[in-house]
Amino acid sequence: MPIRSTNPLSGLFRRSPFKPLQEHMRVVFSCICVVPTLFDALYRQENAQIKVLADQIQSLESDADTIKYTFRLNMPNSLLMPVARRDLLELMNDQDRLADTAETIAQILSFRDMVVPDVIKPFLDELLEGTMETCSAALEIIEELDELLEVGFGGREMEKVNGMIAGVRRSEHNIDHVLHKTRRALFEGEGDLDPISAMYWYKIIELIGDLSDQSENIADRLLLFLSK
């Protein structure tokens, strides 16, 4: 009688070593999707809702961590495919940093009473919208990995993914310009803020920008190991 594996990821690995990465990235993206709603609650000064949403982000980040640690423990030492085990582990680490950053944003907004300065509101909205687009594009690339595997990492599918990677890099470059405008607006309005609030807002703006940077890192990581 054959012995069945009790490894919760064994079925995923048999189908594709990318399946756990995709499952992880979906949870990570769900975590990031709560961030704009969190800022909507901040605009309305709904402190109770901010706490609820922050707890939701923390829970999703914990779910992502569970997938990551299970992936590390149960990943085979060798895979019959043109992708190194180390590359897959590093890609998951890149994905996990997105959830960690979203959690840090949520912690700041839930632990400290914050008020959005009027001078940065339009830029903050633009920044959040652009960041969500970049993170969504990173998710779409991860979802394409199975198709790449099926065609042996070549052909039109490879060209499609390369184009998607280039799109993420362009989006991140655009976000850099929005970040500059947001920081400049905050600098010009610093006189209306207490120094501690100004410091926290610089940090929050930086963290939102980090989400786009980390999405670009995922795209760059894929470009690196797909080109090997």
Radius of gyration of the CA atoms of the chain, in A: 20
| Tens-place pLDDT, residues 136-164 | 999 998 988 776 665 555 566 667 777 78
- Mutual angle of helices 19-43 and 121-143, in 10-degree steps: 170
Residue 31 burial by CB count (10 A; 0-12/13-18/19+): exposed, middle or buried? buried
pLDDT digits (tens, 9 = 90+) for 107-147: 999 999 899 999 999 999 999 999 999 999 999 989 887 76
* Long-range contact set of residues 82-89: C-beta below 8 Å, sequence gap at least 24: 82/153, 82/228, 83/17, 83/225, 84/225, 84/228, 87/221, 87/224, 87/225, 87/228, 88/17, 88/18, 88/21
Per-residue pLDDT of 183-206, as tens digits, reads: 999 999 998 899 999 999 999 999
Q: Which helix (H) or strand (E) holds 117?
A: none
The CATH number that domain 11-226 falls under is 1.20.58.220
